[in-house]
Amino acid sequence: MRKAFKYRLYPTKPQVKDLERTLELCRELYNAALQERRDAYKKAGKSV
C-alpha cells in the first residue's frame, strides 16, 4: 500500500523570492555539473 502526502505552501513575498532564488541556484548548479560531464565525455570518450 502506498501512501502519499501533499503539502501546500502559502509563502510570504520575501519567502517566494528566497524560494525562487534557491531554485535558480539549484538549476545553475545542475546545468554546470551536466556540462562538466558532457565535456569529460567528449574529451575522454568515457562516462564519468
pLDDT at 36 over 90: yes
Residue 2, pLDDT score: 86
Three-class SS state of 3: coil
pLDDT band with cut points at 50, 70 and 90 for residue 18: very high
Task: Quickly list H helices, the chain.
Answer: 13-44
Q: How far apart are CA 27 and CA 34, in angstroms?
A: 10
**In the predicted model, what is the mean pLDDT of residues 28-46?**
94
pLDDT at 47 over 80: no
Q: How far apart are CA 21 and CA 14, in angstroms?
A: 11
pTM over 0.95: no
Q: How many CB atoms are closer than 10 A to CB 10? A: 5
Q: What is the DSSP letter of 45?
A: S
